[in-house]
A and B are shown apart, each in its own frame.
Chain A
Amino acid sequence: MASFFSVPSPIVAFNAHFPLKTYPYIKPLNKSPVTAPTLWIQPPPATSQPVDNLLSSDVECLKWQAYLALRGLKHLRLRWDIAPEGAIDGALPNLHVPIAEALVKDEKLAKSDGAEDGELLAAHSIPAWVDAKLGVDSSADPLEGYKDQASRVESRAWVSLLEGVVHAALLISKPPPSYLHSLLFPSSTPPISESLQKILSAPPAPLTGLLSFLPPTGARINTASILSQYRDAIASLSDRLGTDNWFLGSAEPTPLDALAFAYLHCILESSDTVRIEVTRRVNLVAWEWRVRCLVREGFKQ
């Protein structure tokens, strides 16, 4: 059949003037194969001390850093040159692991073309990866590492306190960037009022008033009430910790400890209004310092 329809020779002669040239494959310049598990995080604060501080300025990234370190993993790498838009779901942190340690164990995948790129895991897959690496099964423990069932239930309340009021106080204490700065460097994060609408218990009223004819814009954020609730939250956190090693009297560090450390560290790096509440509580400061040394161990090069 193919010989039935052949290209007429004048056209072949014409096409011979335009030969098809194939160029060799161009490898990307700054790509290096991943050799160790690398956590992609937001960069550490520029003004932090000591200068070789490896702890992220973002609460979410720091929470996962602390989680990895407190579960006993060592020699993990960090990189902070990747924008959040380049991560899975548009949110850092992500964990980049070599193909040998990937969650998906497949021989064919290990030998395929992009194998040296490894696998990129979103934040919610990190616990499963850690379990696989350490060879333990977290779901087998009904108490999830807590002392007893009552502590496990109580930990939910502390998580929602930290992610609610304390997070809101952190958000409002950040100084907003100047107008010029926001024009020149548009930020990819949503404005504070939107994040606060999701966190606060009652949705904040619009600036133009709920009942007015004007379309609702803006949000009336009651800073004084948020700060007063924050003070109560820190006081109760300090009372609950007391002199224990880990929160709720657990024997080993739990995810609640990682979350608490992330928030305490970010508070201590932020402005005075929120910082002063934590610095008043000696046990919280001491606990944060101790856990900070532990977390740094996990990321030492």
Chain B
Amino acid sequence: MDESLPSPSLILHVWPGQWGLPSFDPLCLAAVLYLQIAIPGKFSLKECSNPDASPSGQLPFLVHDQHVSTSFESIVKYVSGLRESDYEKYEHANLDITLNATQRSKRVAWFAHAESHLADLVYHNIYANVDNWSNVTLPALAAIFPVPQKYYVPRRMRDSYFPRLEASGLWKSVVEEEKPTEKPFPRDVRPAEKKKLSNDASLSLAFDKEKTLTRARAELDIYAELIGDQPYTFGQRVSSLDVLIAAHVLLLIYPLFPDTLLKDLLIQSYPSLVALSRRVHAVAFESGNPDIMLAPAASSLWALLPSWPGRQKPAPKDSNAPEDIHYTHMRWGFVGLAVGSLLAYLVLVGRQYTVTWQVAGAEGEVEEEEETLEETTA
């Protein structure tokens, strides 16, 4: 049934899916949700574990024939713009069509806030939290990458989030762990030393948890007030801002992390946010066509070398256009004409010449094959 349908030319490249969600990165997940709500069945999803293949070095990115959009905002803009270019095919592509000018400007501001503050909470949960990192995230990331990369790339990814989370106070730079002091002379009797507060790792961890909780409450209060009692942020219809918020909240509640601090906080104290995210998830995945998956990209050792940006293979051309066929015919015709004229020349000129070759050791001459090369005097 599907073989007759042409594969969609809109391809979205995202980080691979984890924990029951299409992608583990909040912006990638938001892009998948947006496309699934706006243009279900008209795009295909490609799980990509090589962000260097993207023109900007980051995922998600969208390829539509010759056009490439990187970053979530430009993907939203491009897909919304498809409605103007091709109304019949992409009628519902613009989720923000019902917003007025003030709401549109508020949406831009809230995009910035969600991408910095909510995302900080998500990245803290996934990368900064030591329990979550070592028990869940690291094995999941290592499974995505092929053999040489799986040993160093997850660590690199984690380190890339460090400056941002440290600046916002969600990642303590040094976790002092108590080393067991080895006494050089075990028989010496020393008075017991008082444990210093600053060196007590468990105490500092407890303070950090309090800090994270306070910080998370402050951020989530803002979103709870923004949503209020309405089903969605801007009224009764889902908009791109709802998709973005839902993507972050889903990544806080779906994954099964050992440290459930933020998940419990959300489920117990912010039911409106959880309800919004589940609503958006339902709209995306429980109605309409399922998305079409492409085969995963083959891993290769060439990915180890630094790649030039922008080296992307051009999309395979389908030669159904009549001009292409005409062009191909003319090209082959020209080649045929050149070869034919060469052969004709050889035949015409070669009448004066005869080719002789003597087969060494062949007694029984085959008369037809033997020719003698003689120059006939003209």
Contact = CB atoms under 8 A, between A and B. Distances in A.
B106 to A, nearest CB: 6
B157 A210 contact: yes
A283 to B, nearest CB: 13
B199 interface: no
A161 B71 contact: no
Contact of A201 (B27, B101, B107, B110): B27
B153 interface: yes
Interface string A204-241: 11111111111010001010010011001101110110
The 8 closest A-B pairs by CB, nearest first: A205-B57, A236-B105, A201-B115, A157-B109, A161-B112, A236-B108, A239-B105, A157-B113
B181 interface: no
Contacts of A206: 57, 160
Nearest to B223: A153
A213 B304 contact: yes
A144 interface: no
A90 interface: no
A149 B225 contact: yes
- Report whether over half of chain A's contact residues are helix, strand or loop; otherwise say mixed: helix
A194 interface: yes
Given A165-B112, A202-B27, A210-B156, A222 B56 contact: yes
Given A149-B225, A158-B109, A225-B71, A201 B119 contact: yes
A239 B101 contact: yes
A211 B56 contact: no
A279 interface: no
Interface of B: 27, 50-52, 56-58, 70-71, 73-74, 101-102, 104-110, 112-113, 115-117, 119, 145, 148-149, 153, 156-157, 160-161, 163-164, 167, 222, 225-226, 303-307, 309
A220 B56 contact: yes
A258 B129 CA distance: 36
A208 B156 CA distance: 12
In this complex, which of B57, B71, B73, B307 has the most chain A Cβ atoms within 10 angstroms of its Cβ?
B57
Contacts of B116: 160, 164, 201
A108 interface: no
B307 A209 contact: yes
Nearest to B27: A202
In this complex, which of A149, A203, A207 has the most chain B Cβ atoms within 10 angstroms of its Cβ?
A203
Given A203-B160, A210-B51, A211-B149, 4 more contacts: A211-B51, A233-B108, A236-B106, A240-B106
In this complex, which of B56, B102, B145 has the most chain A Cβ atoms within 10 angstroms of its Cβ?
B56
A204 B145 CA distance: 20
Contacts of A213: 148, 304-305
A210 B15 CA distance: 14
B52 A210 contact: yes
Nearest to B72: A201
A197 B51 contact: no
B57 A204 contact: yes
Contacts of A205: 51-52, 56-58
Contacts of A160: 109, 112-113, 116-117
B153 A161 contact: no
A154 interface: yes
Contacts of A149: 225
Contact of A211 (B52, B105, B112): B52
Contacts of A220: 56-57, 309
Given A156-B113, A156-B222, A160-B116, A212 B58 contact: no
A174 interface: no
A198 interface: yes
A202 B58 contact: yes
Contacts of A208: 306
Contacts of B107: 236
A239 B164 CA distance: 30
Contacts of B112: 157, 160-161, 164-165, 201, 233
Contact of B163 (A150, A197, A233): A197
A236 B70 CA distance: 21
Contacts of B306: 207-209, 212, 214
6 contacts: A160-B109, A164-B116, A206-B160, A211-B145, A214-B306, A239-B104
Contacts of B309: 220
A253 B324 CA distance: 65
Contacts of B115: 164, 201
B305 A236 contact: no
A209 B119 CA distance: 23
Contact of B57 (A158, A164, A210, A236): A210
Nearest to A238: B105
B263 to A, nearest CB: 23
A216 B157 CA distance: 10
B309 to A, nearest CB: 7
Contacts of A229: 73
A107 B116 CA distance: 46
Contacts of A198: 163-164, 167
Nearest to B165: A198
B304 A212 contact: yes
Contact of A161 (B27, B109, B303): B109
A158 B102 CA distance: 13
A171 to B, nearest CB: 14
Nearest to B157: A210
Interface in A132-187: 149-150, 153-154, 156-158, 160-161, 164-165
B178 to A, nearest CB: 30
Contacts of B119: 201
A141 B56 CA distance: 45
A228 to B, nearest CB: 7
Contacts of A225: 56, 70-71, 73-74
